[in-house]
Structure 1
Amino acid sequence: MMQDSFHDCYRLLVQDVEIDCFLGVYEHEQARKRPIVVEVEMYVPHATKISRRDELAETVNYERVVETIERVVGDRRFKLVETLCGELADEIARLPGLRALKVSVTKPQPLPRAKAVRVEVWRHP
């Protein structure tokens, strides 16, 4: 992604949101929820009124981002990390004020020899 297209933005990161999720293609993966980690990187057009007025209404409320993650994951069952990551990105992209965002989902220890698998999805609302 070209950083030049974000020269007038600030970057807002919501890091290491750990949430339990039914995730995997195998029966044993769907038998119980396991922890995943979600991160969201958002590019928000910087308006001088944000720094001058110091008002939450003038920026992206990251509490809403976490609430969106919790709502999308819920008690649903996902087979693919890619599907979950894409749905999270689509829903978070609906929040007002975003130029672009990247959502990543990490599934710890998907295989005995793999520490984790991570999928990243970009959206330009």
Structure 2
Amino acid sequence: MNEPAPRPEPSMTLLALPVLAGCRRLFLRDHAVDVRIGVHDFEKTAAQRVLFNVDLYVPLALSTPTADRLDEVVDYDFIRREIQAHVARGHVELQETLCDALLQRMLAHPRVKAARVSTEKPDVYPDCAGVGCEVFGLKDLP
């Protein structure tokens, strides 16, 4: 019996797009945060574990350090702070709403050309690894 081939990570293929040529991909993987999220009554009584995965695409011209200093690049802490700040605003009904809002926050950074944001609720169903949502956005930079 043949096993299915492993799926390529979608974000890896994005760097091959001509519009993202010359970009660096920064990423945050499986960042676990307790979030008040969901539409069902039982989801409104307690926070749930949500896994966040974020890719930022930053032009090399805006993120290649010459002095090996943090202010020359996009700091990974930016991603974590934006997630925390949004989650702290209160209950979110849908993962789609959460993803869309976080995507806009990532794209608001002046150095970020494109971003991919996914959320996953790993504890919803006992018969699957998780349920989630993913969005991608691209902006024009001068």
TM-score, L = length of structure 1: 0.90
Q: Is the 8 A contact 1:22 1:77 kept in 2?
A: yes
* 1:4 aligns to 2:35 (yes or no): no
Q: From the CA coordinates, give the structure whose radius of gyration is larger.
A: 2
Counting matched residue pairs gives 125
Partner of 2:60: 46
Higher RCO (CA-CA < 8 Å; seq separation 6+) = 1
Partner of 1:22: 36
The SS at the match of 1:84 is helix
Q: Is the 8 A contact 1:21 1:75 kept in 2?
A: no
Aligned-partner Cα distance in 2 for 1:19–1:51: 31
Aligned-partner Cα distance in 1 for 2:48–2:72: 36
Q: What percent of counterpart residues are identical?
A: 29
Q: CA deviation at 1:97?
A: 0.3
* 1:118 aligns to 2:132 (yes or no): yes
TM-score, L = length of structure 2: 0.80
Q: CA deviation at 1:110?
A: 2.1
Mark the runs of 5 or more structure 1 residues left unpaired by the alignment.
Answer: none
List, as ranges, runs of 4+ consecutive aligned residues in structure 1 with deviation greater than 6 Å: none
The one-letter amino acid of 1:33's match is A
Q: Calculate the aligned-residue CA RMSD, in Å.
A: 1.8
The SS at the match of 2:102 is helix
The SS at the match of 2:51 is strand
The one-letter amino acid of 2:71's match is A
The SS at the match of 1:53 is coil
Aligned-partner Cα distance in 2 for 1:96–1:25: 34
Mark the runs of 5 or more structure 2 residues left unpaired by the alignment.
Answer: 1-13
* 1:69 aligns to 2:69 (yes or no): no
Partner of 1:88: 102
* 1:102 aligns to 2:116 (yes or no): yes
